[in-house]
Amino acid sequence: MERTTENRPPTDVRGRGTSSNAAGVAIDSVHVSVPCNLCGAENRVPDGRVGERARCGRCRSALMSGAIAAVAASRLDRLLAHSDLAILVQVCGEGVPKERLLDGDLRELARTLCGSALVYRVDAHREPAVLDALGLSAVPSLALVMGGRVRSRVSGALDREALLEWLASQALDVLHG
């Protein structure tokens, strides 16, 4: 008797199918883990509904609001470790002028990435340990985290085009669609 193999998608340890999100992070085909910006709870959102108006199961706040969420470094580690989505972290400080922080561009980017990535902001002057945790040396800086690990980082002020080019080079091509 001959054995044949079928072309099936890879499965996780529970036998469910797996796939990759726009950022290339392996996720199960049933749910995506999205941390709540407000209370930090891990929420399992159906894969096909990540960009919709999902709410946190604990505090009922919107999970994917398309806004930049300000977080403390004490919560950042947990948020980064428990998200299946790509996370863009902006590290800023008190003395940095607003125009160097790309405020308008990052807000637009957060709306564009809603459902594909999360955007967080951390104040390095209040939370100096975040620079070391993300491997950054200057303010302002950006770090792209995927699968709980820093995939790329860039320091200094970027204009909108340089920001989009950097993100596209990191496989976040959803920006050009």
Average pLDDT (138-145) is 90
- Report the candidate in 57, 78, 76, 79 with the shortest Cα–Cα distance to residue 131: 76
Q: Which domains does the chain have, with CATH numbers?
A: 65-176 (3.40.30.10)
Stretch 51-66: mean pLDDT: 84
Q: Which of 18-27, 62-71, 142-151, 167-176 has the highest mean pLDDT?
A: 142-151
| 101 pLDDT above the threshold of 70 | no
Q: Are 111 and 98 in contact (CB under 8 A)?
A: no
> With pLDDT > 90 as the criterion, what percentage of the chain qualifies?
12
- For β-strands 69-70 and 42-46, DSSP reports them as unpaired
